[in-house]
Structure 1
Amino acid sequence: KKDENDKSSNPKRILEIGCGDVPLGADFCNDMLEMQKQTGSNAKSVVNQIICCDYSDTVIQMLKERQQLLLDKNNNDNNPDKKKKEENLTLLDVQYEVADARKLNYDDGFFDVIIDKGTLDAMLSDKEYGVSNCKAIVAEVARVLSVGGYFMLISHLNANTSSGIEWIDEILVSGLRTGGDKSAKWVVECHSADMNNDDSMEEM
């Protein structure tokens, strides 16, 4: 969502929708903690909240248990230093939440970055409601994304084919215009692994 006047350097909030059992948000959290370890910089000064949500309560419960096991291991793995254990409690971690991406329970403009890795692709497998579900998800993304924020969409669809362009227009553009601030301007960038030409950028 474009905002040429946004100069904010406040810590960012990240949301991953339809995270599944291999969330990108967890990988990003680990990268931030590694940066903190290598540089001494506080990861929470850059990103102070990462939320990964999924429709499946079973998946979310499993992810919570996995994260707790890792935290417990970190606290108990040859680490008798109480101070270090207390510091671990303040580390950046991932919040796992059950949510329907078509109707998110977050305030308008709450997130600075929103990630989707294959959720829209999965929705499209439903021949009857796939398109409408995808539009609803994108509209919700537009609503909860802050001005100046980024929506990172990872899909198997090739944006450089006629079907890919049609998908962008019918679902992505339509959804972005439906949700959130109707006066907002968006910049859409498409990157493909098999592109022969330069990556494309279009303002809408």
Structure 2
Amino acid sequence: MTSAFVVGDRFRKKVSNLLEQPDSSLSEELRTKLGDLLERNGQIILPFSIARQLKQYLQDEGHPFYLHELLEDSSLHLPEFVKPPRNPELVARLEIIKARLANEEYNKMTRNVNNQEMNRNGTLAEFGQQVRSAKAVIVTVFNFLVTIIATFACSYIGSQYLFTETTARVISAVIATSVVGLAELYVLVRTMEGEFGEP
């Protein structure tokens, strides 16, 4: 908070003239303070207490100028702000809070990252799931083919008791194989839908 003025040339001239007057009724204390101020080189800093005493003197003596006229080219003296030292306890607590917030932010950023990542195409768990899915499809297709072949063979051999001609035996085997193949194809499609997660 400011408590002084930085006075200009107008103040110097007027106060110098006032001090040079032999009949002035300035008190010795005020005369000494003002004289000390004017003798300084560089900036003259006038404390508020001296300014109040000077104002009172000017009012009491009825001088033709006022204090605000003396201070027209002056400015307020703003002392340099001295930053108070920080409390070490507070600094330690702030560091802990900063570290906690940084850790939470890091966890939020990395919560969907899997540390078992094999490469950028997927994780080991996804690769294992794909292998199991492919294995199930291969087994199902192989089962379909074995069933078709076995049905044809059984129908062809079993039809010899009903038909004597080879053509009739082949036709009956193809018909039986088609029926079983369609049923097996239905099961295969349902299995494939289950593997790929379709309804």
Q: Does the alignment reach a TM-score above 0.5? A: no
User: So what's the TM-score if we normalise by structure 1?
Assistant: 0.17
User: So what's the TM-score if we normalise by structure 2?
Assistant: 0.17
Greater helix content: 2
- Give the greater-gyration-radius structure (CA): 2
Greater strand content: 1
